[in-house]
Structure 1
């Protein structure tokens, strides 16, 4: 083993130890941290309304306040449902990546700590949807089936890149929810838990992406860049189900058409993804084909 590789492995191990210490010092149990019995004030939004796919559109201006509240609750339930779906995929990929690794290493132990966190988060989001009285939303059937293939054959940097995409976009959305007094306390508390614990996951994922791509050849790097971009496309396009509009009493066709043209929402997406795009570019993972995909989903 040459000195460069040994130094890189020590860096990963040191970062993993710091993350394990952080997890031991600051982790939450949603079963006790969230007040599951509290009433849901009818005037409180599901998340900051500026994150609604219809915010700022002509249709938004026509909607009653009750419709706006109901729409944001269904939208946040859809985002939570998509989060559960994708976290289940990522858990399988991380387990496969860590299979028969050094069990004594901090890297292996934090990977399992992350999986345990994700299990708690998924239960937390499921209970939050149940508390709001909203059924779970699911991606299109074709997306679900493609994901089966992805979780089986995706490479390590693609798995960790996918973690970064999913969590980075959610991070800014949830930070906005945490500080908004017109948002349900249920959502503010679950957002706070998720933001704190996912910050460790994102640091771990960045370190893994850098480590796995450090000596990657040109073809592998280009393939991984496009794979992460395609994964991002399916995550972003699955976040808010078209079914939320009918659930809020809106004309689904008109709502979907206005959502697709909503420049305010597109700008929010670009803002939330700016740091991630810079990181991926530094890792050589924003090639021309990948950039074209990111532009389609307004991450660039």
Structure 2
């Protein structure tokens, strides 16, 4: 029995290293340098949106119908910049969690080397997002103080499946919306390039996060699974509700109070978020991470 278990564990480790080698090979063949790939020099063309208008938090509301075309475009540019700023915030959390996870592990391992490759990708992405937000004419949007402090705690204490599944949630939500934006000719070209780079490179990160989540849950007992399911759900709620800062409305020249009220009850945007997360929810269900308490937070975030 013991030898059978040892053989199974050896096969699992071998399969995990194979995944890491394939990811490293993919990164070597298909990675981008945003400094070169993105057109940073051409002035911002305000005839373009910053994101697909259907993804705006106000799209389909009465307020949206009252906005001029120029106001709608400015709003989507500010919202895209806010999403980018939130992405930077979470990528900084991600990098610290991954570094902590691989600390003192075998540096000759493909999984160790892939983890460092992912961190390098995230560093480039954060700089790319920062430059993109600045070019969109946006200020430095930051999550609410409570979210920042919760993030500080999460990056310090989260481990195993809680860390990797939360990483997956953030990446999956961004991935779906950015796939729409990168194909939309109404979106300003340099933002489309940024989205394309992020989608291509994050596909590898999502593969790794899914693999790590399954691996860490392999021997998890019911108590650990239920506890981490709740932690992941709370982290997901904080991430998703922090994506669009309420200050975007003032910077777009809108009435903040009215905009916040209409965005909060925008069923179109809620439906878009739910449909975009269907694959993610299927994965979490397959990993038995959709417990009752966890579902409460996913429903509050309109992810399910």
For the residues of structure 1 that align with 2:264 and 2:241, how far apart are their CA atoms? 11
Q: Give distance in 2, aligned partners of 1:170 and 1:209.
A: 19
Q: 1:178 aligns with which of 166, 177, 182?
A: 182
- Residue equivalent to 1:58: 62
Residue 123 (structure 1) aligned with residue 112 (structure 2): no
In structure 2, the partner of 1:37 is 41
Say if 2:74 is the partner of 1:67. no
Distance 1:41 1:137 in 2: 21
Moved over 2 A (4+): none
C-alpha RMSD of the superposition = 0.8
Unpaired runs of 5+ residues, structure 2, are none
SS of 1:41's equivalent in the other structure is coil
Of 111, 119, 124, 1:107 maps to: 111
1: CA distance, partners of 2:183 / 2:147: 33
1:291 paired with 2:286, answer no
Whole-angstrom distance in 2 between the partners of 1:6 and 1:282? 24
Residue 202 of structure 1 deviates from its aligned partner by: 0.1
Aligned pair 1:204/2:200, yes or no? no
d(CA) in 2 for partners of 1:227 and 1:8? 26
Distance 1:55 1:21 in 2: 41
C-alpha displacement at 1:284, in angstroms? 1.1
- Does 2:50 match 1:49? no
Listed one character per residue, the Cα deviations across residues 184-224 of structure 1 (whole Å, up to 9, x for unaligned) are: 01110000000000000000000000000011011111111
Which of 81, 84, 88 matches 1:80?
84
Which of 258, 265, 280 is residue 262 of structure 2 equivalent to? 258
Give the Å deviation of 1:3. Answer: 2.2
Is 1:96 aligned to residue 100 of structure 2? yes
Offset at 1:179? 0.9
- Unaligned 5+ segments in structure 1 are none
| In 2: Cα distance, 1:135 partner to 1:243 partner | 9
Whole-angstrom CA distance in 1 between matches of 2:39 and 2:153: 38
Q: Once the 2 structures are TM-superposed, how far is the Cα of residue 45 of structure 1 from its aligned partner?
A: 0.2
